[in-house]
Structure 1
Amino acid sequence: MVFNFIGKKVRLSRILRSGRAVVFAFDHGVEHGPKDFPSEHIDPKVILRKVVDAGVDAVMLLPGMAYLTHDVWANKTALIVKVTSKTNLRPEDQRMLQSVFGYVEDAIALGADAVAATVYWGSQYEDTMLSMWFSVREAAERYGLPCLQLAYPRGPAIKNMYDVEVVKYGVRAAIESGADLIKTYYTGSRETFAEVVRVAAGVPVLMSGGPAREKPMDFLVDVKNVVEAGASGVVVGRNVFQHKNPSGMIKAIMAIVHDNKEPEDVIKYVE
């Protein structure tokens, strides 16, 4: 019997509760440093408690942060453990390389529902990250854990990483490398992102939230566009934890993703 197939199916259903998901990404402390967080959110439990209590579908944490905050998220939301990362303290020419930040066994020990790893498609270190990805995927497959690939086309040869053809290329590479879920860049319109979703061939696509928008309505419109394009939701960080009302932002995003609400109807949650 192939038990791992069932395990993966069950765990995916915990994340994609309605076939869609809003995932709170919280790996920025390593990728960008503490400067990313407003002073009231330097304590990670403060912001995590707000988004978990607001009903977010899943949180994506590095292993150490998952350990430190288990009393906040455990039995309240799904957990995705990201096992690769990198700092911006390293030399600039090496910032296109993700490093090992944990193992699939760490994710299992923490009670995770999925694991995540980044591949910078087009980077000069693409081959190294692919080796890490396949090691993660092989171990996760053995234990029935879904694998989220952060499929980011990024590197010196890529002039515009948001270009629809570039994003589609990264998504195609993600499905061909065995991703169960894909997080990728928003291409700027519903029509172009629909092309990205089509390339994914049924593998759920989640929009990367990106930098915080000056006007929350602009981000909510993006969320609406990607959902209407056929995406399975969003992975959002800075547009929530850098906002003055993180709980309201989560509630607004959830209403669009799960209930097909219009941005105009949910902006009241954040104003």
Structure 2
Amino acid sequence: MEAFQNIGIRRRLRRFFRRDGRALIFAMDHGFEHGPEDFTEVWEHVNPRVILKKVIRAGVDGVMLLPGIARVSGDVLNPNVGLMVKLTSKTNLRPKEDQFLQSPLGFVEDAIKLGADAVAATVYWGSPYEDIMMKQFAEVASIAHDFGLPVVQFSYPRGPYINEKYGKKEDYRVVMYGARAAAEMGADMIKTYWTGSKETFAKVVDAAAGVPVLLSGGAKAKNPLEFLKVVYEVIEAGGAGAVVGRNIFQRENPEPMIKAILRVIHRNEEPEEAAKAEGLI
């Protein structure tokens, strides 16, 4: 017989992933990690309730929030939409030498009180503080799994040694390494960087040993079609979807973009077809 916790983890994962095993998750931790200036393009979205109502109406599969925003926005969250609460973060106000460290800002028990379906924590693989973040993730995973909560690792190769050895943090070899390390640590989902091609991202997916790998959406693309092409290649490579923030909330009307991404992820539509259907081109 299976342990109660394993059944809980599987049930909660299904709140993010549809029957096709894929998901589009809206991310909104930017006000803490980058600062409120990330909302300058569409200032009304600095109010999380405003943007969350839009993304939920558009049909996202899940949302990722920090504890405080989950608290103030809880009443607008649709119970059919998965809630992921991220328990580590950092600000850009820190000294430059400490930017490679994420710190705890909440606890698994807080996420449970908020009704979370999953918790997340970041590890900067290759950082001088890698061991601290590994310990944080291990503690979060151990407690969360005891309560039947899935754990997501934001697996980001980042640090001075990464740049020195590989040239850039998105080099597929370090992204692949980070994905494998996340799987080895017991992650139930992995969010990581785009590697530049379907072929190299497929290696990242392979290295994750069956743990779903989701694209980290990154900075807003000037051309919506270019971002849809990346999402399409992620799916073609065996990826499980995307976690997207700025490519959604930095658009005054994000619904067409969300619906186009959903078409690519869940219907396997070509990027051009999805963009035309939603009036993006």
TM (norm. structure 2) is 0.95
SS of aligned partner of 2:15 = helix
Equivalence for 2:96: 92
Could you tell me whether the CA contact under 8 Å between 1:184 and 1:205 is conserved in 2?
A: yes
Q: Deviations over 1:38-93 (max 9, x none)?
A: 21212111111110110100000001000100111141411000000100011111
CA distance in 2, matches of 1:34, 1:131: 30
Equivalence for 1:177: 185
Opposite residue 9 of structure 1, the aligned amino acid is R
Give the % identical residues.
58
Shift of 1:17: 1.5
SS of aligned partner of 2:83 = strand
Q: Does 1:40 align with 2:69?
A: no
Q: Deviations over 1:193-228 (max 9, x none)?
A: 111111111100000000111111000000000000
CA distance in 2, matches of 1:74, 1:209: 23
Equivalence for 1:6: 7
Could you tell me whether the CA contact under 8 Å between 2:15 and 2:80 is conserved in 1?
A: no
Equivalence for 1:198: 206
Could you tell me whether the CA contact under 8 Å between 1:249 and 1:270 is conserved in 2?
A: no
Opposite residue 120 of structure 2, the aligned amino acid is A
Opposite residue 225 of structure 2, the aligned amino acid is M
CA distance in 1, matches of 2:177, 2:79: 37
Equivalence for 1:242: 250
CA distance in 2, matches of 1:205, 1:99: 23
Q: Deviations over 1:97-144 (max 9, x none)?
A: 101111111111111110000000000010111111011001001000
Could you tell me whether the CA contact under 8 Å between 1:63 and 1:82 is conserved in 2?
A: yes
CA distance in 2, matches of 1:17, 1:109: 25
Within-5 A mapping of 1:155-234: 155-159=159-163, 160-234=168-242
Opposite residue 25 of structure 2, the aligned amino acid is V
SS of aligned partner of 1:172 = helix
Opposite residue 13 of structure 1, the aligned amino acid is R
**Residues 131 and 270 (structure 1), Cα distance of their counterparts in 2 relative to 1, 3 Å cut:** farther
Could you tell me whether the CA contact under 8 Å between 2:87 and 2:105 is conserved in 1?
A: yes
Opposite residue 22 of structure 1, the aligned amino acid is L
TM (norm. structure 1) is 0.98
SS of aligned partner of 2:178 = helix
Within-5 A mapping of 1:16-165: 16-18=17-19, 19-37=21-39, 38-159=42-163, 160-165=168-173
CA distance in 1, matches of 2:256, 2:100: 34
CA distance in 2, matches of 1:266, 1:239: 16
Give the alignment's Cα RMSD to 1 decimal.
0.9
Could you tell me whether the CA contact under 8 Å between 2:56 and 2:78 is conserved in 1?
A: no
Unaligned runs of 5+ in 1: none
Shift of 1:270: 4.8
Could you tell me whether the CA contact under 8 Å between 1:124 and 1:155 is conserved in 2?
A: yes
Could you tell me whether the CA contact under 8 Å between 1:252 and 1:270 is conserved in 2?
A: no
